[in-house]
Amino acid sequence: MNETDEADMPMEARLAAALAEIKALREDKLRLQREVVRLRGLLRGEPRDIRSTRLNEALRE
């Protein structure tokens, strides 16, 4: 949507569009943060299945 289209939209519609964009951006941010954590783990040579020490100990028993 360009600036001309936004100027023709009612305020409520502009607000709804802005809120939808904010929600989408937050979801993207969360997805990217998870991807960064995953990639950092790969760089450190950690196994793909990263589990807590307690969980690993419990599974060994």
Residue with tokens 């709804």: 16
C-alpha to C-alpha distance for 52 and 43, rounded to whole angstroms: 18
pLDDT of residue 4: 63
Residue 35 corresponds to which amino acid?
E
List, run by run, the mean pLDDT of 10-residue segments along the chain (61 residues): 72 96 97 92 72 69 66
C-alpha to C-alpha distance for 9 and 18, rounded to whole angstroms: 12
pLDDT of residue 49: 60
